[in-house]
A and B are shown apart, each in its own frame.
Chain A
Amino acid sequence: MPSLGADMEAATLSEWCRKPGDAVKSGDIIAVVETDKGAIEVEVFATGTIATLLVEEGEKVPVGTLLAVIADGTEAPQPTPAPALDVTSPLGEVPAGRGGAPAAPAPEAPTPAPAEAQRASEPSPGQDVERIHASPAARYRARELDVDLATVHGSGRHGDIVRADVERADAARAEHAAPEPVAPERATARAPEPLATERAAAPAPERVAPTQPAARPPTPSIRRAIAAAMARSNREIPHYYLSLGIDLRHALAWLAERNASRPVEGRVLPAALLLHAVARSLPGFPELNGTWDDDAFHPSATVNLAVAVALRGGGLVNPCIADAASLGLDATMSALSDLVARTRSGRLRASEIGAGTITVTNLGDLGVDETFGIIYPPQVALVGFGRIAPQPVAVGDLIGVHPVVRMTLAADHRASDGHRGGLFLAAVDRFLQEIS
């Protein structure tokens, strides 16, 4: 069971996507796991044949639990009391459970088998237990709404249950239910969101109070996960904060001209341009890009840029764009667009969660001028952007009005000093002034 967040201790294996006897190669999706952040697809990084599945669908197990055995044709080494099969990210220096999650087994967890047994074993019989066919989004919704999937009629192909079916079942049940005291999880008041829930992109539209019914508030477990990570960060990391106003007149004019000749599918948002500027400037400042563990800083060879994406129902996920410094502007926009879409539809992969080396937040439609956030452990820096808004600026001896964005940096003082943080902000500014 991979670690998918700094404070994740356990998760539920919601669905196996392969069965014993199937051939798999590195990168294939083998299972769907449900966490506080929603359904995450887990990849394998071995090639071979699945020998045994060790965890049942619906079972909740701690991080580090052996989930499956894959026969890759090699001889078994002597069994050792080693860590369980590592199905975490291929993005380098990230061992399982890196996020500092204690591996304390939960009472109901199975004892992890002695690991590293790579040889073929008998495929376990009885894997064809009758399964309820439901999409991960439907399973997650059923858990959120406390709906028993066995009572839901599936409208998908072959009778599969989709999310809308679960919602229909919940609505039908509510109509028939006797009035009962509303549990805190069902309260319709929108939970207050931390500052970091602003979302991707550009100039704020005129603000009119939303008239749509509020989407359901986040499940308490999402809030607990966020609260735990933020409290830990605030407790352990000595933050310093810097801020810089960046004149975007040149950059936005350049972008608009570039977008003018492109169809909607090929356009790049200002948010993507800002991410690109950050990614391209970071390699010169390795002390801002990496992880802090065991009283030491571990710089990362690549920039894995985590982006704060707000979920429509509330809550926050930080999937990352791997190796963002090597991507051009168009590739950055595609990656961002794809990540946002899959985050909101619940189809993120394990390799995209928890492997960030820095986070960018508040690509601010929300109407705040600047954000000073809390670093996501074990990262050492957090970049924030406020809204892009017209501001008076000096142009020679006169005053002009240009679109300006306030960029902020929260950084871990154990890993970097303010002088270097300031130089980083200046480097991003320069990138945007000179883009062509």
Chain B
Amino acid sequence: MTLRDQIAAALAPIAPEADLSTVDPRQPLRAQLDLDSMDFLRLLAAIKQRVGVDVPEADYGKIGTLEALEAYLTARGGH
């Protein structure tokens, strides 16, 4: 499963109608998917379970877009 697929799978129970393929990877992800802070936290928890990377609060600013999130996870060994 690609990283993009893992993220999509993590997202599915939180935003069932979301479709990652229509998201602009360079624009703020939360706004495009209408995720509030609770949704976002749950997404990070699901990503951690699948991909094995825990994103500390201090790094939230580095994962604002889909592109940035994937780069961050890849750099830390997530796949």
Give the B-binding residues of A (Cβ under 8 A): 199-202, 205-213, 215, 256, 259-260, 263-265, 267, 269-271, 312, 336-337, 340-341, 344-345, 365
Partner of B28, one of A200, A206, A312, A340: A206
Asked, given contacts A207-B31, A337-B38, A340-B38, whether A264 binds B54 with beta carbons under 8 Å apart, the answer is: yes
Which residues from B are CB-within-8-Å of A264?
Answer: 41, 44-45, 48, 54-55
Known: A212-B32, A264-B44. A201 touches B54 (CB 8 A): no
Contact assessment for A212 and B23 in the assembled complex, using a CB-CB cutoff below 8 Å:
yes
The digit string for B20-41, where 1 denotes a CB below 8 A from any CB of A, is: 0011100110111110111001
Q: With CB as the reference atom, state the residue of chain B lying closest to A339.
A: B38
Q: Which residue of A lies closest to B46 (CB)?
A: A264
Partner of A205 from B19, B30, B45, B58 at Cβ < 8 Å: B30
Contact A201 B36 (CB under 8 A): yes
> Which listed residue, A206, A212, A336, touches B22 by the CB 8 Å rule?
A212
* B37–A200 touching, CB < 8 Å: yes
Interface of chain A, main secondary structure: loop
A208: contacting residue among B15, B27, B45, B57, CB under 8 A: B27
B contacts, CB < 8 Å to A: 13-19, 22-24, 27-28, 30-34, 36-38, 41-42, 44-45, 48, 54-58, 64
When A and B form their complex, which 10 residue pairs have the shortest distance between CB atoms, in order from nearest? A201-B37, A208-B31, A200-B38, A199-B36, A202-B37, A365-B36, A215-B17, A264-B44, A205-B30, A264-B45
A212 adjacent to B19 (CB under 8 Å): yes
B41 adjacent to A312 (CB under 8 Å) = no
The complex places the Cα of A265 from the Cα of B55 at a distance, in Å, of 11
Bound: A257/B64 CA distance, A: 21
Q: Is the CB of A210 within 8 A of B56?
A: no
Q: In the complex, which residue of chain A has the Cβ closest to the Cβ of B14?
A: A344
Which residues of chain A come closer than 8 Å to B27, judged between CB atoms? 208, 211
Q: Tell me how far the C-beta of A268 lies from the nearest C-beta in chain B, rounded to whole angstroms.
A: 10
Closest to B64 in A: A205
5 contacts between A and B (CB under 8 A): A205-B64, A206-B31, A210-B31, A213-B17, A312-B17
How far, in whole Å, are A211 and B18 apart by their CA atoms in the complex? 10
Closest A residue to B29 by CB, please name it: A205
- Known pairs A207-B31, A337-B42; list 15 more (Cβ under 8 Å): A199-B36, A199-B38, A205-B28, A206-B28, A208-B27, A210-B33, A211-B24, A212-B19, A212-B22, A267-B41, A269-B41, A271-B37, A337-B41, A341-B42, A365-B36
Q: A208-B28, A312-B17 are in contact. Are A260 and B56 (CB under 8 A)?
A: yes
**Least Cβ–Cβ distance between A405 and chain B, in angstroms:** 13
A contact residues around B48 at 8 Å (CB): 263-265
**Complexed CA–CA distance, A255 and B1 (Å):** 36
Query: Do A269 and B54 have beta carbons less than 8 Å apart?
Result: no
Contact B54 A263 (CB under 8 A): yes
Which of A210, A336, A344 interacts with B32 by CB under 8 Å?
A210
* Contact partners of B16 in chain A: CB under 8 A: 312
A197 to chain B, nearest CB (A): 11
Chain A residues with CB below 8 A from B34, complex form: 210, 212, 312
In the complex, A271 Cα to B18 Cα: how many Å? Answer: 24
Determine whether the beta carbon of A212 is less than 8 Å from that of B33. Answer: yes
Q: Are A336 and B38 in contact (CB under 8 A)?
A: yes
Which residues of chain A are near B14, meaning CB under 8 Å? Answer: 344
Closest to A208 in B: B31
A208/B32 in contact, CB under 8 A: yes
Q: Which of A209, A210, A271, A312 has the most CB of B within 10 A?
A: A312
Q: Is the CB–CB distance between A365 and B54 below 8 Å?
A: no
